[in-house]
Structure formats: C-alpha cells, structure tokens
C-alpha cells in the first residue's frame, strides 16, 4: 500500500479550481498519468464476502492500524482469514490497476482506493 501525502501542487490545483468555479471559468484539464486518482473508500464486509463467502464479515482489532482488518466466519469465530484490500479495490471499482492506499497507517478507517 502506498501512503498519500497531499502536496503543495495539489493545494494549488485545488485553489485554482475553486477560483475558476467562483469566476465561472471552465478549465479543461488533461489528466497527467503521473498523478493518482482517488476512487473512494473500501467496503470491507463486501471484501470478506467476495473473497471468502457469504458467511464472512469484516472484523478489526481495535486501536491498531490499516493491517488489522480480517474476515471472520459468522458460523465459526475461530475461522479467521486475511482480506486482500488491493483485490477489493480492483473488484469494487471495476478497475484492474486500482490499489489500496491509506492516509494514516495508525487509522484502520483511513484505507481508500486509487489508480495511477
């Protein structure tokens, strides 16, 4: 997973976009492949069900990090499996080059998907 740290260019582009909206100006932008696009968050329960079956639900060890997500079988709490977050990004957003990223490693809820 790659970490996202908003940079100066992103802040400038955001400010430019807001200024253009305020003035009514339309700006055409061609996406630069060097910049990643945020797709959105992950549905962890959906990930567990897609990867391990309908009886699995997302579970997280409290107060840990982005790697603390697991899938637990509702019928057998001892049946705990890993969740592949990059796979979920690709399937959830139907984007074969998508991958999982996070804003804060210590926050399990900061996971999201992006594509270059």
Where is 79: in which H helix or E strand?
A: strand 76-82
pLDDT of residue 74: 96
pLDDT of residue 59: 94
Domain of residue 8: give its range.
2-115
More confident residue, 116 or 13: 116
**What's the CA gap between 2 and 103, in Å, rounded?**
9
pLDDT tier, 1 (very low <50, low <70, confident <90, very high otherwise): low
pLDDT of residue 34: 61
pLDDT of residue 82: 94
Total domains in the fold of the chain: 1
Q: Report the pLDDT averaged over residues 83-92.
A: 96
């Amino acid at each position: 997973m790659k970490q996202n740290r908003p940079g100066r260019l992103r802040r400038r582009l955001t400010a430019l976009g807001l200024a253009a909206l305020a003035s009514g100006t339309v700006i055409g932008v061609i996406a630069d492949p060097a910049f990643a696009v945020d797709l959105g968050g992950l549905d962890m329960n959906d990930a567990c069900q897609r990867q391990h079956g309908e009886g699995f639900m997302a579970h997280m060890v409290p107060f840990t990090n982005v790697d603390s997500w697991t899938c637990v079988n509702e019928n057998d709490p001892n049946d705990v499996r890993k969740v592949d977050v990059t796979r979920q990004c690709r399937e959830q957003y139907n984007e074969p080059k998508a991958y999982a990223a996070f804003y804060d490693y210590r926050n399990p809820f900061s996971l999201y998907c992006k594509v270059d």
